[in-house]
């Protein structure tokens, strides 16, 4: 408020001074006119002198604006021109201060990102490099300033990165070996911002990767080592039970239970080894078109055998012209896990429906049952290893708790996803969605 009042005071002061100066000039001209008797000439000469002075001030201003050093004050001026010189000078000082403050903020942001251990890379909307910090040089080998403006897919040539970058779905990060050393493992996070520009963060996750690798190797080795002793024990139990007459009747029931639990342990080890194998590589080694309709037909008959006297009604509708690229053994294990679960968890004589069809989005396999259903809160965790909705229900069925984890891994390796829809008392529906890139369609 005070400053505004001061400003208007100053303005009024110099306005008054200007009016006084003009009146003085006109007065002097009139006096000259009175003395010489030539009023018009005297007035013209006065105005010409004023115009000349104004032009000279304008030229001084122009010269100062063009040639002045950053801190050089403006030339002295009188009246209105003095005000103009001062205002421009103050405006410039204010702008310089604001620019200095912004530059300091930018410097601090750049200093702190440069000190980060993670690489920060800014890409324009075409994926060309705009800016990166020092860690980007050590982690992925960007070179300053040569790589500026280069496309990121020219510098990171791993097909998995190019595929991930171009697909544009950055919900999950991507993990790859570093382009500088195979022993280093990097995790790439990409976020879109502004006008479709990309912000890429790259973290060194070598240590985590090694720990994860140790965990996988440990489980795989233990499972492998346990298999031989278990086979020997199961073999002897079978021999003993084959010669029931020679066995003390008091031991018969114990031996039978031992055989049952031994078989369960064998299933568990087989599932653990299968999971370890699935985790060892990203994609299946064989990628032949698999006749899913025939595969499902054989799974349907196995499921009917598993159902036995429980008499489930298992129906199959499958498109015979729709094939799937991938590993037949892996797909068999995933699909049979879903169908066998439906048999295990449905009541006797329950209906189970298997469907295999294709549409614009890709190919789909649905297994629908009329079982007890699953509460919504369990659904997100169902594919975790050993996760069970109801442990008493699961132990009766003899399941290993690894079935859906295997399904999830097999689907991941086939670029597919699992959708589970279920509600208590209304049965469940497990649907696998495969993208078009994995399908082979035969017309006719
Ligand atoms: P399990 O070997 O115990 O069947 P899974 O990984 O195949 O292990 O399944 C995990 C859990 O999900 C099961 O213990 C069961 O509680 C639940 N489940 C799986 N399929 C069905 C289904 N069709 N209906 C009801 N519950 C199911």
Same domain, 187 and 152: yes
Domain stop point among 264, 280, 296: 280
Range of 303's domain? 288-441
Q: At what angle do helices 39-67 and 79-115 cross, to 10 degrees?
A: 10
| 211 occurs within a structural domain | no
Cα distances (Å, whole numbers) of residue 296 to 277, 353, 358, 367, 435: 23, 11, 15, 11, 19
Q: Is 378 in the pocket of ligand 1 (CB under 6 A)?
A: no
Domain stop point among 204, 239, 266: 204
Q: Tell me the average pLDDT across 269-274.
A: 93
Same domain, 133 and 174: yes
Q: Is 401 in the pocket of ligand 1 (CB under 6 A)?
A: yes
| 209 occurs within a structural domain | no
CA-nearest residue, atom 21 of ligand 1: 341
Q: Is 83 in the pocket of ligand 1 (CB under 6 A)?
A: no
399: left (phi over 0), alpha (psi -120 to 50) or beta: beta
Task: Collect all residues with Cβ–Cβ distance below 8 Å to 362 and sequence separation of at least 6.
Answer: 433, 434, 435, 436, 438, 439
274 alpha carbon to ligand 1 midpoint, in Å? Answer: 18
- Please tell me the pTM assigned to this model: 0.69
Triad 422, 425, 429: Cα angle to 5°: 25
Could you tell me the pLDDT band of residue 6, with boundaries at 50, 70 and 90?
low
Same domain, 324 and 407: yes
Per the structure, the count of domains in the chain is 4
**Which pLDDT does position 441 carry in this prediction?**
87
**Which pLDDT does position 192 carry in this prediction?**
92
Same domain, 437 and 292: yes
Same domain, 372 and 427: yes
| 213 occurs within a structural domain | no
Same domain, 139 and 225: no
Same domain, 430 and 315: yes
| 256 occurs within a structural domain | yes
CA-nearest residue, atom 3 of ligand 1: 401
CATH number of the domain that residue 426 is part of: 3.30.565.10
CA-nearest residue, atom 14 of ligand 1: 388
As a whole number of angstroms, the distance between CA 285 and CA 279 comes to 13
341 alpha carbon to ligand 1 midpoint, in Å? Answer: 6
Domain stop point among 51, 82, 111: 111
Exposed e or buried b per residue across 376-391, where buried means at least 16 C-beta atoms within 10 angstroms of its C-beta? eeebeebbeeeeebee
Ligand 1 mutation pick, 267, 342, 345, max ligand atoms within 8 A of CB: 345
| 212 occurs within a structural domain | no
Same domain, 391 and 252: no
Task: Quick: pLDDT tens for 408-439.
Answer: 999 999 989 999 999 898 999 999 999 998 99
Same domain, 238 and 198: no
Q: Is residue 402 a contact partner of residue 353, using CB atoms and an 8 Å limit?
A: no
Q: Is 177 in the pocket of ligand 1 (CB under 6 A)?
A: no
193 alpha carbon to ligand 1 midpoint, in Å? Answer: 41
**Which pLDDT does position 1 carry in this prediction?**
44
Task: Quick: pLDDT tens for 289-315.
Answer: 999 999 999 999 999 999 999 999 999
Q: Is 202 in the pocket of ligand 1 (CB under 6 A)?
A: no
Q: For residue 348, give the DSSP letter.
A: T
Secondary structure in 3-state letters for 304-337: HHHHHHHCCEEEEEECCCEEEEECHHHHHHHHHH
What average pLDDT does the structure give for the chain? Answer: 89
Ligand 1 mutation pick, 278, 306, 307, 341, max ligand atoms within 8 A of CB: 341
CA-nearest residue, atom 18 of ligand 1: 341
Same domain, 19 and 96: yes
Same domain, 82 and 45: yes
| 297 occurs within a structural domain | yes
CA-nearest residue, atom 8 of ligand 1: 401
Same domain, 177 and 244: no
345 alpha carbon to ligand 1 midpoint, in Å? Answer: 7
């Amino acid at each position: 408020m005070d400053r505004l009042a001061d400003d208007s005071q100053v303005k009024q002061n110099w306005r008054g001074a200007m009016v006084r100066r003009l009146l003085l000039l006109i007065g002097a001209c009139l006096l000259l006119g009175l003395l010489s008797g030539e009023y018009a000439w005297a007035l013209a000469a006065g105005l010409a002198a004023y115009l000349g002075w104004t032009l000279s001030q304008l030229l001084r201003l122009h010269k100062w604006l063009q040639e002045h050093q950053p801190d050089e004050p403006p030339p002295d001026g009188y009246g209105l021109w003095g005000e103009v010189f001062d205002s421009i000078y103050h405006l410039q000082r204010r702008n310089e201060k604001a620019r200095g403050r912004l530059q300091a903020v930018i410097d601090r942001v750049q200093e702190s990102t440069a000190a980060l251990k993670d690489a920060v890379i800014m890409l324009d909307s075409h994926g060309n490099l705009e800016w990166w910090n020092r860690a980007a040089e050590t982690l992925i080998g960007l070179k300053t300033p040569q790589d500026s403006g280069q496309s990121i897919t020219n510098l990171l040539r791993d097909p998995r990165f190019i595929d991930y970058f171009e697909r544009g779905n950055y919900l999950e990060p991507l993990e790859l070996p570093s382009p500088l050393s195979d022993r280093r493992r990097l995790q790439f996070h990409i976020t879109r911002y502004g006008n479709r520009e990309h912000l890429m963060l790259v973290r060194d996750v070598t240590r985590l990767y090694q720990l994860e690798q140790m965990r996988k190797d440990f489980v795989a080795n233990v499972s492998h080592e346990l298999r031989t002793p278990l086979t020997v024990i199961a073999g002897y139990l079978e021999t003993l039970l084959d010669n029931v007459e020679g066995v003390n009747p008091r031991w018969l029931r114990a031996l039978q239970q031992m055989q049952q639990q031994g078989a369960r342990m064998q299933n568990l080890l087989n599932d653990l080894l299968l999971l370890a194998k699935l985790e060892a590589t990203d994609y299946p080694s064989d990628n032949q078109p698999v006749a899913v309709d025939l595969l499902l037909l054989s799974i349907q008959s196995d499921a009917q055998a598993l159902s036995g006297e429980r008499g489930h009604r298992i129906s199959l509708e499958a498109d015979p012209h729709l094939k799937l690229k991938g590993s037949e053994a892996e797909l068999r294990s995933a699909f049979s896990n879903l169908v066998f679960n439906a048999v295990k968890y449905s009541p006797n004589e329950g209906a189970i429906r298997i469907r295999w069809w294709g549409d614009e989005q890709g190919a789909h396999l649905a297994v629908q049952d009329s079982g007890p259903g699953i509460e919504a809160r369990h659904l997100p965790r169902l594919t975790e290893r050993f996760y069970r909705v109801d442990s008493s229900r699961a132990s009766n069925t003899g399941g290993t708790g690894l079935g859906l984890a295997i399904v999830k891994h097999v689907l991941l390796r086939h670029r597919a996803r699992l959708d589970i829809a279920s509600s208590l008392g209304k049965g469940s529906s497990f649907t696998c969605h495969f993208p078009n890139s994995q399908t082979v369609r035969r017309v006719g």
